[in-house]
Structure 1
Amino acid sequence: MSTKPLHVVIAGGGTAGWMTANLLAKRWLNQPVTITLVESPDIGIIGVGEGSTPTLKRFFSDMGIAEQDWMSECNATYKVSIRFEGWSPGANIPAYSHPFISQLDTFSERSFYVNCFHRRMGQDVTTRPDEFLFNGWLAKHQRSPVTPPNFPFRIEYGYHFDSGLVGEFLKRHAQGLGVIHKALNITDVECHPNGDIAALHSKEGERVEGDFFIDCTGFQSLLLQKTLGVNFKSFKDNLFNDSAVVCPTPAQSELPVETRATALSAGWAWQIPLTNRTGNGYVYSSDFISDEQAASELCRHLGVDEDSAALRKLTMKVGQVERHWANNCLAVGLSQGFIEPLEATA
């Protein structure tokens, strides 16, 4: 007796949709599961130059995708630390860094914790993480975190990458695993009498039915919030930054292995080094500065001409949904929540 395969439908592409598709396709390889991703050909992704934590390294490792297979295609560079500039003017500290902790730090991190304890007791001791953690040394000397096979310790690191190119790479990889891709514009969501989602309807006249749906439609949260009515809990009262302006600049001659976050008048600016360009952006609160003022301040910070700069404005919906899973729908990525990426750790 044949059993009808489980049909999982992912609404939306981008890094969220295609990472989800890849993970499910690998996990359910050779199982009676069909995975379809429905992606609008007309809606662009938020995509700017982005940085990750070591979690992305583990994702690619779990997928069996080697760095040499994806990094060059996505203009990616290594990231071992985040450097904060201008955040503590009252303490006379021009900058400090937050390196990722690695296995090698077993021999030095206790000294860091002890010094932090004594600093809280009022003693004048060194508490800069980059003075104790190995990745701090790598960032200072612009060294790669890649080690030879016989190196006895695991070094943790993330990446800087072009999120649009990563999405395209993961799309091709997922299709190689059997994921079905449909370029459709979703216009309506059909539900069963019990409230479960039954199918997606498109402008092109196609109906895509499924047993389980994953909402990767970004801030609009078409399935979880708009269709199933799950409430969104805003963090606006506590996290003021709700906007960003981005501006690419040419690639740096020497690529750093860290993200830079610089404090500005109403927020902070990121600098993310890619192989083909430098990703820059200013995250700010629209309650304290206008979009035009923010764009001007970013251009002054970068030393570029505002009239010729390729500026782009983004609006952020800061908060999270009350439930990430409702009925037969799970939200992943921006559709379930977002907070400002203070350490550029997408």
Structure 2
Amino acid sequence: MSETATIIDKYIASRPLGGSTDVPPPVKHICVVGGGSAGWMTALMLATTAYGPRLKVTVLESPQVGIIGVGEGSTPWLRRFFEILGIEESEWMPACNATYKSGITFDGWSTKPGFERYFHPFVSMLDNMTMHPFVDNVHARLEGANVDAHPDRFFLSTALARQAKGPRADANFPFDVWYGYHFDATLLGQFLGRKAVARGVTHLQRHVNHVLLNEQGDIAGLQLDGGETLEADLFVDCTGFASLLTGKALQTPFIGFGENLFNDAAVAMPTPLDGPLESQTVATALRHGWAWKIPLTHRQGNGYVYSSAHCSADEAETELRRHLGLLDADIPARHLKMRVGRMEKIWHRNCVAIGLSQGFIEPLEATALLYVQVTASMLVEVLEKRALGPDAQAQFNEAMRQRFENTRDYIVAHYKTNSRTDTEYWRANAENMRLSESLQAVLMTWMSRKPLVTALKAGRFGQGYPAVSWYALLAGMGIFPDAEDLVPPTAHQARHDLAAVDHFIARSLGNFPDHRELLANIPPGNSDKLLQVYAW
């Protein structure tokens, strides 16, 4: 199980809905500065602490500052967030034009024959039936045996996405599938805001003119338009890339990841929804980055994440329009700049940065909202432990450092293992040697044909993502001996009946509805099946 599962499991264990404690909260008032998905998700989690209404939570949202509102995908952990809060999919998904997400297709990242496209699955309980054949075949192919080791053949989620099936099975099918969501980020923030206010969070729509610091350097209050001052005991900075509190007021140093994550800009362009409604994100490699394709119920989200050091904004927009077949279409594009990296301290003095203000590791695996959820879970945990001193802050910051860097390593691996040579951008990514020791260890272990599972479980490297994700990435990119060097497998290497694997997945598929049909009639939650998925 991944370390993210551990963090959220600990949060879940302390979350008996309706539970309370007679112990007073260590702080009386927390002010969340900034709304959007990050601010309102944090406020909702703070509103469900064991302290109940004795802990005052205020969201201060400026009417003069808009939200980015582009991110449209999640990891599977967002599902747990709604289940903890008792919010059904049938309520929030239609309100946010949301669809289901079974995983991500990576298209064009590899040029190796047979590996030009692969799927990173959100695995299911059923994959325990096919996971071992996949891993065994991977190692046989690493040893030079000509066996099928492409991940797409072995995972139910891949078939669900490609056949436009929804990842929630019929009621009589007792196996869960791990899935995420696609959604309209602006609508999601608005929905979470309504829920937070209904659960006792104070919403104040005022603009911050100045952040006031006391003699010790802590935040004493916020001077609002009109001259009033808003005071609180603890502040949460959800002001996005502006980082109004953590960055500007507290002058927290920022650690950039630009030396091995080159992308720092994006251009977005929604289009009408056309064709089948597949439960997947598609990430297609373009000349200087990659394009996303995300289906919502009312439109298709499109965008291009690229390196401004390798192409201009105008060149990126033209390439995206060409990719979409919209060179002459009168559809406006929205340009964005990204700050990729992390704050040196996520918790600095009496302020915790959450969301884009704490850091960002580009959109490739849709981790932004996951970091909001994890950080807010950790904040609730320390509040309920009443552990707000220097040691607790240091442990908090070290845990966040590790999580950012572990996720960064997994994202960097996508670029490092590419085999494109058509532009300097892709060549520079493949030639990049500024890799962490952890990532170097993963790649060296793979190339030495040793099992990743044992080392990953031992925690020596590659933390943050389960072993199956690393296997899907490296096998999906075709990091194997060249096809002409493969030899027929031995009887032991060919011991798995892949026709039986195909048959098993095909029969399992029959229990899952069409994606559109599922969205039209979303069943009640199935949290009793959850969190048994990541056996790896």
User: TM-score, normalized by length of structure 1?
Assistant: 0.95
- What 5-or-longer segments of structure 1 have no aligned partner? none
Structure 1 contact 249–279 (Cα < 8 Å) conserved: yes
Matched letter for residue 135 of structure 1: S
Match of 1:70 among 80, 85, 92: 92
Q: Distance in 2 between matches of 1:213 and 1:103?
A: 41
Q: Distance in 2 between matches of 1:121 and 1:41?
A: 60
- In the alignment, does 2:85 pair up with 1:48? no
What SS does structure 1 have at the residue aligned with 2:40? helix
Matched letter for residue 176 of structure 1: A
What SS does structure 1 have at the residue aligned with 2:108? strand
Match of 1:129 among 151, 157, 170: 151
Q: Distance in 2 between matches of 1:4 and 1:79?
A: 39
Matched letter for residue 94 of structure 2: S
Aligned position for 1:187: 209
Aligned position for 2:180: 158
Structure 1 contact 55–158 (Cα < 8 Å) conserved: yes
What SS does structure 1 have at the residue aligned with 2:87? coil
Aligned position for 2:137: 115
Q: Distance in 1 between matches of 2:175 and 2:261?
A: 38
Q: In the TM superposition, what is the alpha-carbon distance from 1:102 to its structure 2 partner? A: 1.6
Aligned position for 1:338: 360
- Size of the alignment, in residue pairs? 345
- In the alignment, does 2:306 pair up with 1:284? yes
Matched letter for residue 93 of structure 1: F
Aligned position for 1:235: 257
Q: In the TM superposition, what is the alpha-carbon distance from 1:92 to its structure 2 partner? A: 4.5
What SS does structure 2 have at the residue aligned with 1:237? coil
- In the alignment, does 2:82 pair up with 1:60? yes
Q: 1:82 to 1:4 in 2, by over 3 A?
A: closer
Q: In the TM superposition, what is the alpha-carbon distance from 1:49 to its structure 2 partner? A: 5.1
Max Rg structure:
2
Structure 1 contact 184–204 (Cα < 8 Å) conserved: no
Q: Distance in 1 between matches of 2:29 and 2:325?
A: 52
Q: In the TM superposition, what is the alpha-carbon distance from 1:140 to its structure 2 partner? A: 2.1
Structure 2 contact 76–179 (Cα < 8 Å) conserved: yes
- What 5-or-longer segments of structure 2 have no aligned partner? 1-23, 369-536
Deviations 1:163-197 (A, max 9, x none): 00000000000000000011111111112222221
Q: Distance in 1 between matches of 2:25 and 2:367?
A: 42
Q: Distance in 2 between matches of 1:147 and 1:23?
A: 29
Identical-residue share of aligned pairs (%)? 50
Matched letter for residue 36 of structure 1: T
Q: Distance in 2 between matches of 1:4 and 1:214?
A: 16
- In the alignment, does 2:56 pair up with 1:34? yes
Aligned position for 2:318: 296
Structure 2 contact 27–233 (Cα < 8 Å) conserved: no
Q: Distance in 2 between matches of 1:320 and 1:216?
A: 14
Deviations 1:276-299 (A, max 9, x none): 110000000011111111000000
What SS does structure 2 have at the residue aligned with 1:50? coil
Structure 1 contact 261–343 (Cα < 8 Å) conserved: no
Structure 2 contact 168–176 (Cα < 8 Å) conserved: no
Q: Distance in 2 between matches of 1:59 and 1:9?
A: 21
Matched letter for residue 315 of structure 2: Q
Aligned position for 1:217: 239
What does 1:311-330 correspond to in 2, within 5 Å?
A: 311-330=333-352
Aligned position for 1:247: 269
What SS does structure 2 have at the residue aligned with 1:169? helix
What does 1:255-294 correspond to in 2, within 5 Å?
A: 255-294=277-316
What does 1:139-150 correspond to in 2, within 5 Å?
A: 139-150=161-172
Matched letter for residue 57 of structure 2: I
What SS does structure 2 have at the residue aligned with 1:224? helix
- In the alignment, does 2:223 pair up with 1:201? yes
User: TM-score, normalized by length of structure 2?
Assistant: 0.62
Structure 1 contact 234–320 (Cα < 8 Å) conserved: yes
Q: Distance in 1 between matches of 2:275 and 2:228?
A: 49
Matched letter for residue 339 of structure 2: K
- In the alignment, does 2:127 pair up with 1:105? yes
More strand by share: 1
Q: In the TM superposition, what is the alpha-carbon distance from 1:227 to its structure 2 partner? A: 1.2
Q: Distance in 2 between matches of 1:295 and 1:228?
A: 36
RMSD: 1.7
